[in-house]
Structure 1
Amino acid sequence: MNASSIVTVAILIFFLTGCQSWQQRPLEDLPPTASLPDRSEPGKAQIWFWDNISGAKVADFTSLESYPDNPTEVGELDSLQLRGNRADSYGAMVQGFIVPEETGEYRFFVSGDDETQFLLSTDANPENARLVASVPSWSYPENYTQFSAQTSGIIVLESGVRYYFQLLFKEGSYDDHFSVAWEGPGLDRRVVSGQYLHSWGAPLYPLDDASKAAYSMGYRVGYVDGNENLSFNPQYPPTDEDQDGLYDNWEVVMGLDPRDSGDANSDPDNDFLTAADEFALGTRENMADTDGDGIPDGVEFAYKLDPLDSSDANQDLDGDGASNLDEYLGNTALDDPDDFPEVAPAHLKGFAGQYFSGMEFVQFYTTRPGENIQFNWAREAPMEGLPVDRFSVRWIGQFEAPHSSGTRSYRFSVRTDDGARLYLDSELVIDRWVNRAATTNSDERALEAEQVIPIVVEYYENAYDAIAEFTIVDLNSGDVIDTMEHVSAPDPQSSHTQDTDADGIPDAWELRFGANMYQEDSSAVLNNSGVTSLDAYQSGLNPWTLEQVAEPPSSPEDASPPPPTSTSGSVTVTWTAPSTRTDGSSISLSEIDYYELSYGQSVDRLTETVTVGPAETSYTFDGLSTGDWFFAIRVIDTQGLASDQSEPVSFSIQ
């Protein structure tokens, strides 16, 4: 994590500390036992009737003293529809919840005989209900086009959310009926069925914020106490002897002192959150990574992740292709797409063997990963296509000492017929590059527990028998180390940015094309055309054959300067630093190495050049003679890639 991230964490902690209660979450997010119970049931809605009420208007019964608490009769509906001829002169109210299955735009339709009103809330609260559709007098059954008021506007509903509704209906005489239909995502126009209904059920507890917080707090206290096998304490609010806002049982569980108010501001688990912060968030003060996803709680909180949700470690907050966990482990900012970790290549067990014809790595043939150097080819070729004699091999890998503590000594041995070289940690420790019968040479080295060192074994065969063997022995135990378990090398076919020798060429590319990833060899020429290995990589070419094998990395866009300004005998050229490459990908100022300005008195002969550092965006040319001068610029990045030269601009010195 970079410095700015650390600062962010500290600031957030400062503002969070002092919030001395459990983070209040929506009740529906708590386990079922913690939800406020109610009497609502799925699949139906209740209907209340008030009989023997004259008139055909809704107000004729809603104005009665018996409304809404003393209906004549209560029944149930399995859809929002009442088919006719129950009676004359009555009023009815239906209420409950509609729960859509899909999020999207909905429209409601109502029919009825006589006046019918349909009200819908923006949530489960009846106080937010408003009239959305109505029949002002009467309509035919399921006829929704007789009055414009029968159709609602577009209403956006969310999947799984309860929306309170109320239908008010007044029957005068003759036919009596009503229906409510809807249409929306996946629904053509149809009567609202019981599949989407929940009956009205008033909560057994008040819905005010204080009661919700108390219920949530009580649940959490009981949950923690139960999980930790603590004795039940019916006192509420729970005891807090030192009045630091952390209830006593929680402090005991987390290893704090319930009699020391100062420990509320401590951070025993070093996760960048104080005990008070952890109490507020519901995380554990005795565990730096409560959800076990590899990212400390405080880091998750600083980046607005959930320290109680392990799945967010595999998400990519800033969309730069690296997971949140990889960003944290790579010490890069989780919310900055321009700050991403170096991607290490996938490693394969065993050595990667690079095979060449000729005894001095003359012509590269192929790379074979996953090799155990225990070869006795006798008088046969190591593979089809290579000669029986006069070939060479370079094996590359890294060894991780398998012991878990302290220091141990290991013997590294090569047995070859003919020549051999052994490099340990880039140091040449065995140099027997001569024709010889099978001979063993060794070097011993003390390694710390789990220490990793690079190994390069080079071998050539001249004539007759061909033998190449490499072994590692633990001198403390006498055991021969299984190199297929404890030696690995990058996958030559992987695509990554790791460049161990900092020569501008990724390790996997070097392995794949017969170069040494532990040796700076960017200027090596492996072909007859004078093209260096770095130039070949940057052009996407095989450095031996110059065949196109990949798309070249993008070059930066040019930074075309505006017309220059001048004083007598001098010209100042200014430009804007590029922000993108030619392929549209971004380029930061840190990736620009320098600018090259070319100039001259002929547009076709800009023979003079100057270079300017990456922080500059202007340059003054002094001492210019009279006449026309032409200027152009190009950008060179830190990998040596150069943009095309800009279109020349001109200025006349008088």
Structure 2
Amino acid sequence: MAAIKVLSVGTVVVLLSGCQNWQFRDIEDLPPTAAIPETSEPGKVDVWYFDGISGNYVQGMLDAEKYPDSPDEITELTQLRQATSRANNYGTLIRGFIEPPETGEYTFYISGDDQTQLWLSDSQNPDGAVQIASTMSTPLDNFTRYASQTSGVQYLEAGKKYYFEFRHKEGGWDDHFTVAWSGPGISQQVISGSALHSYAQKAPDSAPEMTTEDAYHLGYRIGYFDAEQGLSFNSQYPPLDADSDDLYDNWEIVYGLDPSNAADAKSDTDNDLLTAMDEFWARTNPGTEDTDNDGIPDGYEYAYGTDPTNPGDANVDLDGDGYTILQEYQAGTNPTDASDFPAPQEVYASGFVGQYFTGTEFDSFAYSQRDATVNFNWNSGSPSAELPRDRFSVRWQGWFTPPHNEGTRDYTFTTTTDDGVRLFLNGSTVIDQWKNQSPTSYNATASLEAGTPVAITMEYFEFGWGATAQLAITDAATGDAISTTNTVQHLALDSEFAESTLNDGIDDLYKLRYGLPLMQPSASRVLNDSGVTVLEAYQSGLHPYTLETVSEPESPVTSQPGGTGDASGSVTLSWTPPGTRVDGSSISLSEIDRYRVNYGQDAANLPQTLEVPAGTTSTTVTGLAPGTWYFTIQVIDINGLSSEPSDPVEHQVN
């Protein structure tokens, strides 16, 4: 008896238990045909081993003289899994029949060491078998190392037997193999004996072609399709199917398939991992990868249980991790596993970030904003009501990508200012004219690599009278002006994530939002009257100039609570963790320490509290007296910063 073992299979945890039978038969004295039983038996399959064949590839077994008629050993398995190492330099062949328990869409998964292949026929006939999954060496029961380990969706009918063939080749070291499936009412699990029949000279009897329920569903799809296409109703039964491929002829004609060619039922012309047969039953277009045009291929939607004909479900968050299925598809993460979510990405926009200060030496930070270009003439005025007409300063920051295609090219950077100006490229000073002056232009030329972004920082101060600040870039060889709108980008101020260009422990987003230079060290600077360094302010979620709290978590989103309504007075609350902080930066689940539930019978005064650990998104409050109760939730991060309470929800306790 095998012990119960928890196996991590993709993203589904499967409990396996039971007996695995290994019955050895000596076939040394048997002629080849005697190795194949006369009749098929349910609950098991025969495993043929071919020893003394070197190499890691199945083809080596196929080329061996003894294959397929002279195996060295035959055993029986009651599930499609060999977990222990058997030997080195051998090949494995398993042939049999699979009988699905329910009619519907099935997906197969294989793992093994070394090469493994799974072949499946659309009937009991071995001649119809095609390879649906393959892999090279993987860990035991790991189905996610290669995309080829997962088959396309296979439509199987209950009561029918389908011939399959499993091929495995072992070279050296560890060896094992596993075949699993998922389907109607079946989470991902090893294929057990309840669905297996051994291979025999005489195939197992087949069940009736179609159940009443299947016939109803087929009729519904055909009627819906004819009405959708404006075709007249045809009551003929069985439906028109000249090539007997189980595809309705009218459907094949509309979508450019051949109603006289049965092979095209298995075609996948749009590469969405659904065959034409799959698309027929899913009511999707076999010639379009994304029938509902929601950015997600039909096969992906079908595999994860969303509707490939409904564009609205692209915004569904299947696992509650804060990311939609569209975002998870684009990032290549599992939309049904809350622990597997897209890595945060920096978001860039065209133009510069302008940081505006009072004082000529960036004395007091006022605000940051996007400036498409640096081309300003404020005359004797001010950039905004938040700044004085005189004695203010501005720092513009962005990344310039040289637009030429290859090699290096010289570009000239021209500043025109009234008054002082400094220009930095990748942190190096190329123009330094920090003085009072009438509108004056200065040039600097740099040789830049094609496609390699260069950090541009332009600093400017206005002392009095006129105020002008301009930056132009030209191709030094041709004199052609370069559009900064098309070639300069900045880290968007509403991005949810940013790295640190200087690796100084302070992310770029914080620097841009709160008046700090990207390319100049500032972690140890003190910009306030309390002696708090920039790094300390950042780590505490404070503004480096004012020390105001700027990055506490956003409030969680609560749902209307449900209660038992009995004398115990219990109410169950649930909520969605925030994905961002107040300043718009992202907050990961690992940064949340706990939640605080506040409750009471006066919406303006909630004196009672309950602490709930991180990783929890629901809790039950008990012992409530009859009457109306109000509840809010707060997030507390690992630094002790707490969010504002969520909007209150109320519940009547009987």
What's the TM-score once normalised by structure 1's chain length? 0.45
Question: Which structure is larger by alpha-carbon Rg, 1 or 2?
Answer: 1
